[in-house]
Amino acid sequence: MATLVYDFTQGNKDQKALLGGKGANLAEMTRLGLPVPPGFTITTDACREYLRTGTEPAGLADEVTAHLRRLERQMGRRLGDPDDPLLVSVRSGAAFSMPGMMETILDIGLNDRSVYGLAAQRGESEHSAWDSYRRLIEMFGRTVFGVDFDRARPSVDDPRELVASYQKVFREHTGREFPQDPREQLDLAVRAVFESWNSERATLYRRQERIPAHLGTAVNVMAMVFGNLGEDSGTGVAFTRDPATGERGVYGDYLQNAQGEDVVAGIRNTVPLQDLARLDPASYAELLHHMTVLENHYRDLCDIEFTIEHGKLWMLQTRVGKRTAAAAFVIASQLVDEGLIDLDEALARITGAQLAQLMFPAFEIRPGVRAIASGIGASPGAAVGRVAFDSGRATALAAGGDRVILVRRETNPDDLPGMIAAQGVLTSRGGKTSHAAVVARGMGKTCVCGAEELEVDAARRELTVGGRVVREADVLSIDGTSGKVYLGELPVAPSPVVRYFEGERAPATDRLVAAVHRMLTHADTRRRLGVRANADTGTDAARARRFGAEGVGLCRTEHMFLGDRRPLVERLILASDDRERELALAGLLPLQQADFEEIFRAMDGVPVTIRLLDPPLHEFLPSLEELAVKVGVAEALGKDPGSDLALLAAVRRMHEANPMLGLRGVRLGLVVPGLFAMQVRAIVRAAVAHRDAGGDPKAEIMVPLVGAVQELETVRAEAEKLVAELGDGLPVRIGTMIEVPRAALTAGEIAHAADFFSFGTNDLTQMGWGFSRDDVEGAFFSRYLELGIFGMSPFESIDRAGIGRMIRIAVDEGRAARPDLHIGVCGEHGGDPDSVRFFHEAGLDYVSCSPYRVPIARLEAGRAAVAGSASDTR
């Protein structure tokens, strides 16, 4: 078997998989000559082996013994020595940071005899030895045997009596004495840390953070140092930059005369780290020096745990620190200025998801405003509304014009109407894959879930939190990014980053905006993918252009059929002869033409892809149920239902069991005479008008839902005729959506009739999986995510293995048939960070997404292009 134990002097920071993050970084600090208490790391291999077999791997005990002997020699003390004992900590540490999820046990090596030895060594602060012993019994008992010590916190002050009382509880709970053999303590502690990998909370955390379940944790055994030996001792945490804003400076907290866990647990009030300059100038100067060494070495923000024992500084932990989205941009840009990294590396260190966060409006938190609860930020945004405890109340409140927060213990498919009506959703149970989280993300609605402090009582229409009662119709504010819940209405501030994109703020106004500007500019120089926007109106198109879109990749024409144009559309659908139909179409034509002209103006000189009408016709007609009731009532009252009768007949005729798979897209165009021709006319006339006004229109006509090349050929022939007739030499490209699986699989044929392809990944995903998004997200997606059938909703992020495979086939066969074929994507995935990377790899020419996602797609396309040349660590 391979080596199972590494001394801190043997490893380095690149061995996270084997030594865990904590162990690898302790080794790295040791290598850099920083003052790290000596110790060793038991590998994740050993943990995996233990978890697989249920026993410690052969040879582990011997290796631990050898390293322990070495540690004892180095420290000049022996574990369990009654006169001057060596104490060690046993610390978990996985490859990925899982803060607070697993166990750490301090002060291993104390027993009824060595505690006297330690007390004697401690002289004046002898009580601290007893305090350490008490802590050991508590941590060890809780971690190894699950002992609940709450009962053992009597009013005794004498630490010796406390030890006795803790030992008694230990005995009562476990049926055995607290182990006096230090080696037994050590072995049981190591085993408990191994097992903490599979604790319920660690398992849940991993599932939510998508950390693989099989990795296991390493275990670090380290000589104890003591921050609780008086005024010249203490412990603290430090950041090399402000993890909230990225600002340079000294950030952290210090606690005099205390052990590290006291800071982490927030038991006592800390002082700002700067105060250490006064309390212990020498240690402070040394700490700042080490911080600089670490920053320069890791070339990134580091966070640090340290302890000072009688004026001697010890470094206990470091890692590349977590940071807010804003800090990530600012720090990346600063590090470039400081010459520590280049722009490519900076790009690798920020993500589209972080940029997306910065584009949401956020609450303005005034000093003194405190959250009443906090849960998991499951779907970002800042939502304010009145509380409703069930779906019915939510819809009712919303119908009355109120903004609503739907509050549930957990949601289920029956809550869908309420979720749609609400501004935001708040639950007290469940994580990122819960029903509430999945559905809210799908709808782009703010969601906080798993806010466990809330006791939700839907029957009594109230919730209790920290002794406070919130009743129906009270106002709450929820932050879907931080997961915080506030009482009352908090003011919402627009995102400075969005204001910059809108041209309302110069790049130099603040550090964050400047950093975003710089990163996007660099991404634009690197990316190979073009970025267009999905925009249906001149306003959207103009905004998209301000956000950096290089054209419109999808202009949906269906909205142009709604609103006050409905009567015309009804006339078209109900037309009983050609003349009536032509009249209706003639009425629609100038309206469509005006719409297109507006978009061509906003997108002058860049391509505009206009999709011919896609949705099923019944979407433009009144609902069957409502109409049937209306007619029924009229008839019962002996009144004449008038035109409603004909309408009802038509709606009945057009009713489809499965409209998503019915008469829509190209099928509709081939069935309703003159419909597509009217749209093509409107497009060509709009383009000609724009050109005649001195503009440069680049029109592209896109045919939806094609499954067979013959469909496209038929539409194309008619469209080409109209373009030749009306276009006066205007170049108009004609292409197709690839969104029916059959189209992807026959792309080689279809390419002969298409100037371009655009993947409609929503439909391709629905039809590829054989489920409709509207039905399945609410019904069973949360279960599927829980079971790990997929790691993320395939509507959020492209399913590479399945849907992605169809895309690759279509790209390869399409290009083989027609090398100049231009290929893009216009489904929702065009703005999803992971999917953008896939589209880059698959060799697409551009992605198209909603205007607000354009900057995210630009950034991710740039990141995809530099990936491989720079390391991507987050």
Catalytic residue (choose from 435, 522, 822, 840):
435
Q: Which two tokens stand for residue 142?
A: 């809780």
CB of 267 to ligand ADP, least distance (A): 12
3-state DSSP helix/strand/coil % of the chain, to nearest 5:
50, 20, 35
| Alpha carbons 192 and 210: distance in angstroms, whole number | 23
Give the CB-side neighbour count of residue 414, counting CA atoms within 13 A: 7
Q: Measured in whole angstroms, how far is the alpha carbon of residue 345 from the centre of its chain? A: 22
Q: Which does 763 bind (CB under 5 to 8 A by kind): ligand ADP, Mg ion, none?
A: Mg ion
- Quick one: which segment of 368-376, 564-572, 649-657, 735-743 binds Mg ion (CB under 5 A)? 735-743
Helices and strands in the chain: count of H runs, count of E runs: 35, 33
CB of 404 to Mg ion, least distance (A): 31
CB of 320 to ligand ADP, least distance (A): 15
E strands, 581-677, are 607-611
- Quick one: which segment of 218-226, 398-406, 431-439, 848-856 binds ligand ADP (CB under 6 A)? 218-226
Specify the residue, 258 or 572, whose C-beta has the smaller distance to ligand ADP. Answer: 258
Q: Measured in whole angstroms, how far is the alpha carbon of residue 395 from the centre of its chain? A: 29
Map the footprint of ligand ADP across residues 2-61, applying CB under 6 A. Answer: 37
- Quick one: which segment of 230-238, 634-642, 679-687, 737-745 binds Mg ion (CB under 5 A)? 737-745
Specify the residue, 23 or 831, whose C-beta has the smaller distance to ligand ADP. Answer: 23
Q: Are residues 516 and 497 in contact, defined by beta-carbon separation less than 8 angstroms? A: yes
96 to 135: interface string for ligand ADP, x by CB under 6 A? ----x---x-x-----------------------------
Specify the residue, 119 or 258, whose C-beta has the smaller distance to Mg ion. Answer: 258
Q: Which does 100 bind (CB under 5 to 8 A by kind): ligand ADP, Mg ion, none?
A: ligand ADP
Specify the residue, 262 or 713, whose C-beta has the smaller distance to ligand ADP. Answer: 262
Residue with tokens 């303590």: 185
Q: Which does 604 bind (CB under 5 to 8 A by kind): ligand ADP, Mg ion, none?
A: none
Residue 650 makes contact with ligand ADP by CB under 6 A: no
CB of 866 to Mg ion, least distance (A): 32
CB neighbour list of residue 211: distance below 8 Å, 6 or more residues apart: 94, 96, 98, 205
Q: Which two tokens stand for residue 545?
A: 């252009």
| Alpha carbons 347 and 333: distance in angstroms, whole number | 9
| Alpha carbons 523 and 863: distance in angstroms, whole number | 7
CB of 590 to Mg ion, least distance (A): 27
Q: Which two tokens stand for residue 45?
A: 């291999």
Report the greatest alpha carbon distance in the chain: 108
Length of the chain in terms of residues written: 874
| Alpha carbons 517 and 855: distance in angstroms, whole number | 10
Q: Which does 114 bind (CB under 5 to 8 A by kind): Mg ion, ligand ADP, none?
A: none
Burial 519-538 (b: 16+ CB within 10 A, else e): bbebbeebbebbbbbbbbeb
| Alpha carbons 48 and 581: distance in angstroms, whole number | 72
Map the footprint of ligand ADP across residues 240-269, applying CB under 6 A. Answer: 259-261, 264
Q: Which of 189, 224, 439, 738 binds ligand ADP (CB under 6 A)?
A: 224
Q: Measured in whole angstroms, how far is the alpha carbon of residue 593 from the centre of its chain? A: 41
Map the footprint of Mg ion across residues 747-776, applying CB under 5 A. Answer: 760, 763
Q: Which does 760 bind (CB under 5 to 8 A by kind): ligand ADP, Mg ion, none?
A: Mg ion
**Pairing outcome for strands 462-465 and 468-471:** antiparallel
Specify the residue, 259 or 761, whose C-beta has the smaller distance to ligand ADP. Answer: 259
Q: Which does 608 bind (CB under 5 to 8 A by kind): Mg ion, ligand ADP, none?
A: none
Residue 94 makes contact with ligand ADP by CB under 6 A: no
| Alpha carbons 510 and 518: distance in angstroms, whole number | 12
Residue 736 makes contact with ligand ADP by CB under 6 A: no
Q: Which does 307 bind (CB under 5 to 8 A by kind): ligand ADP, Mg ion, none?
A: ligand ADP
CB of 250 to ligand ADP, least distance (A): 19
CB of 425 to Mg ion, least distance (A): 27
| Alpha carbons 310 and 246: distance in angstroms, whole number | 33
| Alpha carbons 71 and 66: distance in angstroms, whole number | 9
Catalytic residue (choose from 826, 829, 840, 849):
826
CB of 445 to ligand ADP, least distance (A): 34
Q: Which does 378 bind (CB under 5 to 8 A by kind): Mg ion, ligand ADP, none?
A: none
Give the CB-side neighbour count of residue 464, counting CA atoms within 13 A: 6
Q: Measured in whole angstroms, how far is the alpha carbon of residue 864 from the centre of its chain? A: 18
CB neighbour list of residue 413: distance below 8 Å, 6 or more residues apart: 435, 778, 779
301 to 330: interface string for Mg ion, x by CB under 5 A? ----------------x-------------
| Alpha carbons 634 and 675: distance in angstroms, whole number | 34
Q: Which of 222, 304, 346, 764 binds ligand ADP (CB under 6 A)?
A: 222
Map the footprint of ligand ADP across residues 301-340, applying CB under 6 A. Answer: 305, 307, 316-317
Is 826 part of the annotated catalytic residue set?
yes
The type of residue at 395 is: T
Q: Which two tokens stand for residue 721?
A: 């005729």
| Alpha carbons 208 and 375: distance in angstroms, whole number | 13
Q: Which does 222 bind (CB under 5 to 8 A by kind): Mg ion, ligand ADP, none?
A: ligand ADP
E strands, 61-208, are 78-79, 85-86, 88-94, 104-108
Specify the residue, 21 or 760, whose C-beta has the smaller distance to ligand ADP. Answer: 21
- Quick one: which segment of 372-380, 466-474, 543-551, 738-746 binds Mg ion (CB under 5 A)? 738-746
3-state secondary structure of 379: strand
CA distances (Å), origin 542, targets 535, 696, 824 = 9, 16, 21
CB of 21 to ligand ADP, least distance (A): 9
CB of 149 to Mg ion, least distance (A): 22
- Quick one: which segment of 1-9, 221-229, 381-389, 590-598 binds ligand ADP (CB under 6 A)? 221-229
Q: Which of 812, 793, 830 is nearest to 554 (CA)?
A: 830
Q: Are residues 8 and 33 in contact, defined by beta-carbon separation less than 8 angstroms? A: no
Specify the residue, 317 or 736, whose C-beta has the smaller distance to Mg ion. Answer: 317
| Alpha carbons 131 and 158: distance in angstroms, whole number | 9
Residue 89 makes contact with ligand ADP by CB under 6 A: yes
Q: Which does 37 bind (CB under 5 to 8 A by kind): ligand ADP, Mg ion, none?
A: ligand ADP
Q: Are residues 371 and 454 in contact, defined by beta-carbon separation less than 8 angstroms? A: no
Specify the residue, 37 or 480, whose C-beta has the smaller distance to ligand ADP. Answer: 37
**Pairing outcome for strands 492-493 and 362-363:** antiparallel
Specify the residue, 463 or 764, whose C-beta has the smaller distance to Mg ion. Answer: 764
Q: Which does 89 bind (CB under 5 to 8 A by kind): ligand ADP, Mg ion, none?
A: ligand ADP
Specify the residue, 95 or 608, whose C-beta has the smaller distance to ligand ADP. Answer: 95
- Quick one: which segment of 222-230, 341-349, 501-509, 568-576 binds ligand ADP (CB under 6 A)? 222-230
CB of 49 to ligand ADP, least distance (A): 22
Give the CB-side neighbour count of residue 772, counting CA atoms within 13 A: 8
Specify the residue, 223 or 465, whose C-beta has the smaller distance to ligand ADP. Answer: 223
3-state secondary structure of 418: helix
CB neighbour list of residue 366: distance below 8 Å, 6 or more residues apart: none
Binding residues for ligand ADP (CB under 6 A): 37, 89, 91, 100, 104, 106, 222-225, 235, 259-261, 264, 305, 307, 316-317
Which positions are catalytic?
435, 826
Binding residues for Mg ion (CB under 5 A): 317, 739, 760, 763
